[in-house]
Amino acid sequence: MKFLTLVLLLLLSVAPSFAQALDAKTDETPKADDRPAQVLFEDANGYLGRRYQEFNKQKLPYDAKLEARTKKEQQELAVKNATILKARTRLSKEDVYYLGMLHHLAGDADNALSTMRLLLKDDPDGVQAQAARNVVVLYAVRKGLLDEAKAAVDKYAHHKPQNADDRYRMEFLLTDAYMRGKDYTAMTTHAKDMLEAAKEYGRANKTEPFKRDDMLIKSGALLADSYVKTNHKDSAIKTFTELIRLSFELPSGNLFKLATYRLALLNPSIDFDKLIDDSSRSSKAALPEIIASQWIEQTPVKLSDLRGKVVLLDFWAHWCGPCRVTLPNLSRWYETYKDKGLVILGLTTYYGHGNGKPMTPGEELIYLGEFKKRNRLPYGIAVDETQMDEINYGVSSIPMSFLIDRKGVLRYISPGANEDEIQSLGRMLKKLVEE
């Protein structure tokens, strides 16, 4: 009996506090989500990145279904956060911007378009307004509202800041839409603007030559196509001719290769030797200096030190079959013209392997020296471990050669190793040596 009384007393002593806890839990209401609009957007926008980091930590293999599900989850989060933001009584202009971006992230075309229209009604300036114009162009084009999309692009051009990459994408959307609608006159107008945006991107982004070249060749191809559709084939040919000229100014072996291929399809009978000579002579741009960490049987040298010489820069690799095809020709040309001022430099980098096995840079350097002796290469080799030489010259494939005259002007680009390309390089080399 004493034991039962003690238990009852203990229960009575804790009952009030337990009851209070229950009452407190019952009275608790969900806390409103008062995160700023920017945080709500960044939460959804960063979802994919956060999830992919988790997948990488778990070392999960790529799974297309998992990727699709994760992207759907991101859209759902964007919808949820947009609903939270939209429910607020008063939205600032910044809130409206992030609401529009959440609708965009959710793939909600109607709400994204209407929200960004609201933001832009007073024709504002600034980063957010320019981004909103990008969104308007995207969804207006999708809905066939080309006049609205064109007006948004025009407004973008009259406001700051401007981004050449954004301008390129907007002009592409319009160019493509007018092409599908067979309005080739309007297509020409926007393809021209697209090409100018690609050039501007290239001027502002020196370290992304291959993206630049892709933008240039796509816009050039669309512009040429619009000219062909409007019976202006000469203008189409001129478009690629100007891109070839630009490839010497940049310089870019990649752009040269892509533009000459397109031009050959358009006009198979064109005299490429004359075209290339005319294009290269018009270039006055200073060439990038050679960047090398190691030199093999060659005193370190700068292009500026070689004025008065004819210089052949040959980008190659010891493992590259087509490169090896060119080596006997390079050796023969060097022995033939070295006394007439020819300098050949073989430019390469470390690839981490050689002779079928992994190699450290030090081991590969030794292997390169042995390769040079074994193949009796009489000219020097420069090794650039940063690969900046390839970036600076737009080298997208090897072998690729650049021929520079005695004045330091790039006069010829050889993009490969087939018989015609080797013969053309040999003819041009002979011409420059004799100039």
Q: Hey, how many other C-beta atoms are within 10 angstroms of the C-beta on 209?
A: 23
Superfamily of domain 294-434: Glutaredoxin (3.40.30.10)
| pLDDT confidence tier of residue 19, bands split at 50, 70 and 90 | very low
| Rounded distance between C-alpha atoms, residue 409 and residue 287, angstroms | 8
pLDDT of residue 15: 39
Query: 189-199 pLDDT, tens per residue?
Result: 999 999 999 99
The whole-number pLDDT of residue 368 equals 97
Q: Cα angle at 325 between 337 and 412, to 5 degrees?
A: 50
Contact 243, 255 (CB under 8 A): yes
- Of 41-50, 184-193, 279-288, where does mean pLDDT reach its minimum? 279-288
Percent share of the chain, pLDDT over 90: 88
CB 388 within 8 A of CB 301: no
Among 279, 222, 298, smallest CA distance to 410 is for 279
Q: Average the pLDDT over each of 3-7, 158-162, 164-168, 337-341 and give the range with the smallest value.
A: 3-7
The residue extents of the domains of the chain are: 179-285, 294-434
Q: How far apart are CA 107 and CA 105, in angstroms?
A: 5
Helices 109-120 and 127-142: crossing angle in degrees, nearest 10, is 140
If phi > 0 it is left, if psi is from -120 to 50 it is alpha, else beta; for residue 309 that is: beta
Other CB atoms within 10 A of residue 216 CB: 26
324 in helix, strand or coil? Answer: helix
Please say whether the beta carbons of 330 and 344 come within 8 A: yes
Average pLDDT score over the chain: 92
Parallel/antiparallel/unpaired status of strands 310-315 and 400-404: antiparallel
